[in-house]
Copies of this chain bind each other. A is one copy, B any other.
Amino acid sequence: MKNSGIKTEILRIKKGIAPVVYGEVKSKKNSSKTLLFYNHYDVQPAEPFNLWHDAPFSGKIKGNKIFGRGSSDDKGELITRIKAVEAFLKTTGGVPCNVKFVIEGEEETGSAYIEKYLKKYKKKFSCDGVIWEFGYVDSKNRPIVGLGMKGLLFVELSKKESNQDAHSSLAVIIKNPAWRLIDAVKTLRDSKGHILIKDWYKEVKPFTKRDLKLIDAEPFDESSFKKEFGIKNFVNGKKGLEVKKALAGNPTCNIAGFVSGYTEQGAKTVLPSEALAKLDFRLVPKMVPKKQVLRLKKHLKSKGFGDIKIKIYHGEAAARTDPSHPIVSIVKKSADQAYGKSILNVSNAGTGPMYSFSNILHVPCISIGSTYMFARIHSPNEFARIDFLKKTTRCICLILDKFGKP
């Protein structure tokens, strides 16, 4: 940012907490409008390393792709924004509106402190709109203008039965924590994925007619998607509108990880002493993470699994921006200009701390970016597409230009 002419600052709230990197450029035209770019400098773990074709942090360029953990999520997005601002500074000597950058370091682990940063630096971060940290581009080169994000509850369930692994012949008398944990997680949902925790869906509202119309209008290339992931059918055989509705509005209970005992190649006759399950629950608007945690705890207890240890990693509420807000059409038009066509998306299937931003700063949040939808973010061989990085940089320039106009 410094190299691009952006005034920077490191903001801290507490030792041991990743700082926020802040950037600011004031418009010379005394524009009253301020646009805030939210990004993050942390990445998901690169494991499993053995599945990467190149070292995860090599930044290897092959044809139109830059490979590396973080190449799309979120360094790719960030660089388009910095370069858009740099372009204005270098060509016109100033930016059309005031620009702020908030770049945090704990997004991938659930943005546990972003709310504290937002509260502490509420004034510094004041703005008229937030451009979200990412935005997808679909398989037909159409950027997705995102108006919402799901919430997330990430928990770890664990069970310890003894103080050491034992020879598996002792399974006749020593309890196996893997069986116990399997019994416990099995109570959380039915085989179709419906969550069986009491009142889990209590606050969930059906889509409005307007939302449903927008969702129906969203293109989704089922066959490209299936081909990319090598799958024949979607969950429960979903098709068409059902798939799009699920992405925008279905809560889930996903096993992100499960481990117990010997997991390497070959056989080992061991009776594990511990078992561990990492679960993530996607939440939709009106579901309150803290409330859902209590429901999960109550559920396990009532089903006789009070002995299962629960560790809460984080909870985040879902958020959605009103499609009729003026910023929506500014971003939509810019995306259309830069890419030829863009798509309006009611809610992304993923999660970010959008609720904290919209709730504390009282501004609309909108997502637009350069991440190809099959860019393998969070997975081995993540990449960024160079053509999209260029087009998105132009798109950001257009947004700044339109947003700065009185």
Complex-state Cα separation, A258 to B109, whole angstroms: 24
Complex-state Cα separation, A173 to B176, whole angstroms: 32
The copy count of this chain in the complex is 2
CB distance from A388 to the nearest CB of B (A): 18
- Neighbouring B residues of A314 by C-beta, 8 Å: 267
Residue contact A166 to B45, C-beta cutoff 8 Å: no
Of B243, B256, B268, which one neighbours A44 at CB under 8 angstroms?
Answer: B268
CB distance from A235 to the nearest CB of B (A): 5
Residue contact B266 to A255, C-beta cutoff 8 Å: no
Q: Is residue A169 within 8 Å, beta carbon to beta carbon, of the partner chain?
A: yes
Among residues of B, the one whose C-beta sits closest to the C-beta of A167 is: B378
Among residues of B, the one whose C-beta sits closest to the C-beta of A278 is: B262
Complex-state Cα separation, A264 to B276, whole angstroms: 10
Among residues of B, the one whose C-beta sits closest to the C-beta of A231 is: B162
Q: Is residue A246 within 8 Å, beta carbon to beta carbon, of the partner chain?
A: yes
Q: Is residue A208 within 8 Å, beta carbon to beta carbon, of the partner chain?
A: no
Residue contact B278 to A171, C-beta cutoff 8 Å: no
CB distance from A103 to the nearest CB of B (A): 20
Among residues of B, the one whose C-beta sits closest to the C-beta of A178 is: B255
Residue contact B377 to A175, C-beta cutoff 8 Å: no
Complex-state Cα separation, A350 to B271, whole angstroms: 12
Q: A residues 162-201 with Cβ under 8 Å of B?
A: 162-176, 178-179, 182-183, 185-186, 189, 191, 193
- Neighbouring B residues of A271 by C-beta, 8 Å: 254, 256
Complex-state Cα separation, A45 to B264, whole angstroms: 9
Q: Is residue A161 within 8 Å, beta carbon to beta carbon, of the partner chain?
A: yes
Complex-state Cα separation, A230 to B170, whole angstroms: 14
Residue contact A172 to B235, C-beta cutoff 8 Å: yes
Interface flags for A150-165 (1: CB within 8 Å of B; 0: not) read 1010101000011111
Complex-state Cα separation, A269 to B350, whole angstroms: 10
Q: Is residue A358 within 8 Å, beta carbon to beta carbon, of the partner chain?
A: no
Q: Is residue A91 within 8 Å, beta carbon to beta carbon, of the partner chain?
A: no
Q: Is residue A207 within 8 Å, beta carbon to beta carbon, of the partner chain?
A: no
A246/B172 contact (C-beta < 8 A), A268-B44, A268-B256, A378-B269 known: yes
Interface flags for A97-110 (1: CB within 8 Å of B; 0: not) read 00000000000011
Of B154, B176, B278, B350, which one neighbours A261 at CB under 8 angstroms?
Answer: B278
Of B256, B266, B272, which one neighbours A269 at CB under 8 angstroms?
Answer: B256
Complex-state Cα separation, A23 to B255, whole angstroms: 53
Q: Is residue A313 within 8 Å, beta carbon to beta carbon, of the partner chain?
A: yes
What are 17 A-B contacts with C-beta separation under 8 Å? A44-B268, A44-B269, A47-B262, A161-B231, A164-B230, A166-B379, A167-B350, A168-B252, A168-B378, A169-B282, A172-B246, A172-B252, A178-B255, A182-B186, A254-B271, A257-B263, A258-B259
Question: Which 6 A-B pairs have CB atoms at the shortest separation, nearest pair first?
Answer: A163-B230, A259-B263, A169-B349, A257-B261, A169-B350, A178-B255
Given contacts A45-B264, A165-B378, A178-B255, 17 further A-B contacts (CB under 8 A): A44-B268, A47-B262, A47-B264, A154-B267, A162-B230, A172-B235, A172-B250, A172-B282, A173-B225, A173-B246, A174-B231, A178-B258, A179-B255, A182-B182, A182-B258, A186-B186, A255-B261
